[in-house]
């Protein structure tokens, strides 16, 4: 009988390093989407505050010791690293999407330069500070990019994991080669 093995989306594809940059996979289980029902956003925000969290402003994330909440679109956010409280279901649609996403972390000095080759958003610190979030493109893929401390986290659909790693690794290698040629 076949033995099934649970694997992460980027299993065997990372870690990858070129120049000062390293690409790794994060597993922020669980990942839940929160989508407040019409007229319930304020009630959900109050419930999040009671749980030590907060509803993020558009384009931002809220990080606390109790978890993270990332803006992920109009009236939608990701809850990371913890389970939602049962009473939140009265105010928001809750969906466990942990298996649907690949989360990669790009770190190293100048990671913005690597992403600038693929992402049409200004990711320099002055325009994209810590906890900033953008729903954008990385090459041809829809992604969610957030600056988390000194690194960037890139969220993409699980089915795009191989392509995302390939695109990021190609950009890392090209920029490392260009810098080495100076």
Find the domain containing 92 and state its range.
Answer: 31-98
159 shares a domain with 114? yes
List, in sequence order, every residue forming a beta bridge with 35; answer none if it has no partner. 93
Specify the pLDDT at position 182: 63
Q: Strand runs (DSSP E) across the chain, as ranges?
A: 16-18, 21-26, 31-36, 61-64, 67-73, 76-80, 92-96, 101-107, 133-138, 141-148, 151-157
For residues 135 and 81, what is the distance between their CA atoms, to the nearest angstrom? Answer: 20
The per-residue pLDDT for range 87-111, each reduced to its tens digit, is 999 999 999 999 999 999 999 999 9
C-alpha to C-alpha distance for 7 and 52, rounded to whole angstroms? 32
Assess whether 52 and 89 both reside in one domain.
yes
The answer to whether position 3 is within a domain reads: no
């Amino acid at each position: 009988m076949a033995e099934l093995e649970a694997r992460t989306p980027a299993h065997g594809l990372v870690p990858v390093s070129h120049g000062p940059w390293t690409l790794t996979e994060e597993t922020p289980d669980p990942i839940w989407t929160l989508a407040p029902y019409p007229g319930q956003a304020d009630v959900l925000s109050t419930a999040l505050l009671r749980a030590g969290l907060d509803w993020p402003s558009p384009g931002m994330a809220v990080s606390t010791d109790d978890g993270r909440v990332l803006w992920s679109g109009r009236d939608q956010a990701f809850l990371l690293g913890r389970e939602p409280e049962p009473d939140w279901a009265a105010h928001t649609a809750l969906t466990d999407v942990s298996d649907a996403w690949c989360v990669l972390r790009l770190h190293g000095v100048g990671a913005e330069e690597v992403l600038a080759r693929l992402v049409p958003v200004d990711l320099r610190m002055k325009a994209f500070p810590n906890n900033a979030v953008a729903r954008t493109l990385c090459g041809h893929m829809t992604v969610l990019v957030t600056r988390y401390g000194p690194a960037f986290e890139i969220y993409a659909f699980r089915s795009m994991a191989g392509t995302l790693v390939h695109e990021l690794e190609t950009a890392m290698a090209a920029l490392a080669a260009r810098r080495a040629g100076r």
